[in-house]
Amino acid sequence: MNTAEGSNSPHFTPEDQALAEEIADVYRIVDPVPATLVERLQFALALESPDFAVLRPYEDTVLPAGVRGGEDSRTITFDSEIVTIMISVSARDDHAVRVDGWLAPPADHLVELRTGAGAHVVRADDQGRFVLDVVPRGLSQLVVRQGLDDPAQATILAVTPSLIL
């Protein structure tokens, strides 16, 4: 490659340009940009407040068929200094799942499951248990808020990374 004096941009010869295009073609074939990358980034960045703990996935266990009445199921645990969330995701059909969850320490916080189809908000009971009975499959994220009567006033305590249900 040739670089002009006083310039930071390279000047490609026709051979250099052809080689650069071939390399770009190889990367497009071998390691393409995921089709959903932009959607997943926008989804992850859509929360309105930056003052919360981001939970770390701690465990992801796939339970074999036959568990919970023959449904495929998996258990995921998210952990932070503020709260731990354990969820069990069970298949309902080809388009929906059921999410059973537990907060530790137990509290009657609001639990929001953000999905591409909208948010599903439930209140955990005083034992920290919550259920989202019918949730569409796909990209989602859990958000835990203070257990106030007005969800718009409730501060976000923690969020999970995006996950695929």
SS (H, E, C) the chain: CEECCCCCCEECCHHHHHHHHHHHHHHHHHCCCCCCHHHHHHHHHCCCCCCCEECEEEEEEEECCCCCCCCCEEEEEEECCCCEEEEEEEECCCCEEEEEEEEECCCCCEEEEEECCEEEEEECCCCCEEEEEEEECCEEEEEEECCCCCHHHCCEEEECCCEEC
Give the sheet arrangement for strand 84-91, strand by strand. Answer: 56-63, 73-79, 84-91, 96-104, 129-136
Pick from 112, 109, 114: which is nearest to 125 by CA? 109
User: In terms of pLDDT, which residue wins out, 118 or 39?
Assistant: 118
pLDDT at 134 over 50: yes
pLDDT of residue 34: 75
Say how many residues make up the chain. 165
| Residue 144: φ, ψ to 5° | -105, 125
- CA dist 134 → 16, 68, 122, 145 (Å): 55, 16, 12, 21
Q: What is the pTM of this model?
A: 0.62
pLDDT of residue 122: 93
Q: What mean pLDDT, rounded, does the chain reach?
A: 78
Any idea which of 8-12, 23-27, 73-77 has the lowest mean pLDDT?
A: 8-12
